[in-house]
């Protein structure tokens, strides 16, 4: 039986994960979202319908994937 052991896979860097969110990963709001997530702030300061809000959300998601990659 195949086991999905994350210890056998090399960790991905944040830039590798962030690149999957192109073109949002080039926006300042993306970086703010990632930093907010890492600091424990989960409320999007850009609201819900702007491009900046989408970039922030994707930055927070990328940071979550980066910090939780050992769990998958």
Residue-wise pLDDT tens digits, 15-70: 999 999 999 999 999 999 999 999 999 999 999 899 999 999 999 999 999 999 87
Q: Evaluate whether residue 39 is within a structural domain.
A: yes
Domain count, the chain: 1
Distance, C-alpha 49 to centroid of its chain: 19
pTM: 0.84
Q: Evaluate whether residue 3 is within a structural domain.
A: no
Q: Evaluate whether residue 2 is within a structural domain.
A: no
pLDDT at 5: 56
Q: Evaluate whether residue 7 is within a structural domain.
A: no
Q: What is the largest CA-CA distance in the chain?
A: 46
What is the distance between the alpha carbons of residues 31 and 8, in angstroms, rounded to a whole number? 29
Kindly state the average pLDDT of the residues 1-23.
80
Q: Evaluate whether residue 41 is within a structural domain.
A: yes
Q: Which domain holds residue 29?
A: 13-71
Q: Evaluate whether residue 19 is within a structural domain.
A: yes
């Amino acid at each position: 039986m195949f086991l999905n052991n994350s210890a056998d896979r090399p960790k991905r860097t944040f830039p590798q994960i962030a690149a999957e969110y192109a073109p949002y990963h080039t926006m300042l709001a993306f970086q703010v979202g990632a930093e907010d997530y890492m600091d424990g702030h989960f409320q999007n300061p850009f609201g819900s319908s702007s491009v900046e809000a989408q970039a922030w959300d994707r930055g927070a998601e990328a940071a979550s994937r980066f910090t939780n990659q050992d769990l998958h």
